Structure 1
Amino acid sequence: MSKPIIYFLCTGNSCRSQMAEGLGRHMLGDEYEVHSAGIEAHGVNPKAVEMMDEVGIDIRGQESAVIDRDLLNRARLVITLCGDAKENCPVTPPNVDTDHWGLVDPAKAEGTEEEVNQVFRDVRDDIKRRIEALKAQ
């Protein structure tokens, strides 16, 4: 029997949803099939890769993808990570649970490299806490 699917959705599938997919696979991979996608596919952000490396999770093999309607319809849980995805996500069937985690876009962070890195870390750590809470349910 296949595992239930968790689908993380964002605007460009480059930062937030990629980190969520990596963390989700790492933390929930025994129980769930974890995927991510975007309204558009902007490629995996190198800074997201770097910040995930800091916690020992390699997301280099992940690909930036647009939302797959079949996967969306088969998902157990769809989590939007930004307002754009929440507003523009295709309608999910009634049997699919949805949640919204409104996260800042780390790709838009400004400042020194360390300040930008910290925004990425904060988003990554927020996602991790939310996945831990999800796992505890």
Structure 2
Amino acid sequence: MAEGILRHVAGDLVEVHSAGSKPAGYVHPKAIAALAEIGLDISTHTSKHMNDFLDRDIATVITVCGNADQACPIYPGQVNRYHWGFDDPAHATGTEEEVMAEFRRVRDQIQLVFGAYAAGLREGLKANV
């Protein structure tokens, strides 16, 4: 969900990739459904391992789940590192509707944080013009 939302709010400013320390091998169907509810299609996104990006020029790493900030390597040339520890809705329990509500709650939190992050990027660009 984080990749889809960040691409939506800041994809015109930064190149966005998503990877995990322990990728599931698929994108959770409820994540796809939660983003579809707000008009974002992540149905073609894939689950990738963070080591797949070690040979890339990565300037900023944003970690979003649990101890991902501790598990994530330092990439060559990396300048910025941020951690926003959202709950992982894939671990939610309860009825189908309760689990879906957790996906929506986390989606909405990610939207708020990444929306603010993108706004800060835009302000920074304006200040440098």
For normalisation by structure 2, the TM-score amounts to 0.84
Give the percent of matched residue pairs that are identical in Structure 1 and Structure 2: 47
**Counterparts of residues 21-32 of structure 1 (less than 5 Å):** 21-32=3-14
- Is structure 2 residue 59 aligned with structure 1 residue 76? yes
2:60–2:81 Cα contact (<8 Å) kept: yes
Gaps of 5+ in 1: 1-18
The verdict on how the C-alpha distance between 1:121 and 1:59 changes in structure 2, with shifts beyond 3 A counting, is same
The TM-score with structure 1 as length reference comes to 0.79
RMSD across aligned positions (CA) = 1.4
Bigger-Rg structure (1/2): 2
Q: Match for 1:37: what amino acid?
A: A
Q: Hey, which bits of structure 1, 4+ residues long, moved more than 4 A?
A: none
| Amino acid of the structure 2 residue aligned with 1:53 | A
Question: Unaligned regions of 5+ residues in structure 2, if any?
Answer: 121-129
Structure 1 residues 39 and 120: alpha-carbon distance in aligned structure 2, compared to 1, 3 A threshold:
same
Equivalent residue number for residue 45 of structure 2: 62
User: How far apart are the structure 1 equivalents of 2:111 and 2:97?
Assistant: 21
CA distance in 2, matches of 1:122, 1:70: 34
Instruction: Out of 92-101 and 81-90, give the one that drifted further.
Output: 92-101
